[in-house]
Structure 1
Amino acid sequence: MTSPSRPIRMLRGLAEAVPAILLAAMFVCFIIQVFMRYVMDSPVGWTVEVCVIAWLWILLWGQSVSAEERDEIRFDIVYGGARPQVRRWFRVIFSVFLVGIYVWSLPALWDFVIFMKIQKTSYLDIRFNWVYSIALIFSVVTILRYAWILWTAATNRDTGLSSVEDLGRKDFSE
Structure 2
Amino acid sequence: MIDRLTAIGTWLARRAENILALMLFAMFAVFILQIVFRYVLNLPIGWTHEISVVLWLWLVLFGAGFVLREREEIRFDIIYGAVGPRLRRIMAIITSVALVMLYTLSLPAMADYVAFMKVERTAYLKIPFNWVYAIYLAFAVAAIIRYLWLGWTAIRGKAPEEFDPTKAGSGV
- Could you state the TM-score of these two structures normalised by the residue count of structure 2? 0.90
Q: Which residue of 2 aligns with 1:133?
A: 134
Distance 1:3 1:95, change over 3 A: same
Contact residue 80 and residue 165 of structure 1 kept, 8 A: no
> How many angstroms apart in 2 are the aligned matches of 1:165 and 1:155?
27
Distance 1:76 1:3, change over 3 A: farther
Distance 1:4 1:81, change over 3 A: farther
Instruction: Report the Cα offset of residue 167 of structure 1.
Output: 4.9
Number of corresponding residues: 167
> How many angstroms apart in 2 are the aligned matches of 1:5 and 1:137?
22
Provide the aligned C-alpha RMSD in A: 2.1
Q: Which residue of 1 aligns with 2:93?
A: 92
Identity of aligned residues (%): 44
Q: How does 1:17-166 map to 2 (within 5 A)?
A: 17-158=18-159, 160-164=160-164
Instruction: Report the Cα offset of residue 36 of structure 1.
Output: 0.9
Q: Which amino acid aligns with 1:122?
A: A
> How many angstroms apart in 1 are the aligned matches of 2:118 and 2:4?
42
| Unmatched runs of 5 consecutive residues or more in structure 2 | none
> How many angstroms apart in 2 are the aligned matches of 1:68 and 1:12?
10
Contact residue 89 and residue 158 of structure 2 kept, 8 A: no
| Unmatched runs of 5 consecutive residues or more in structure 1 | none
Comparing both structures, which one devotes a greater share of its residues to helix?
A: 2
Q: Deviations over 1:95-142 (max 9, x none)?
A: 101101111111110011000000111111110000000000111100
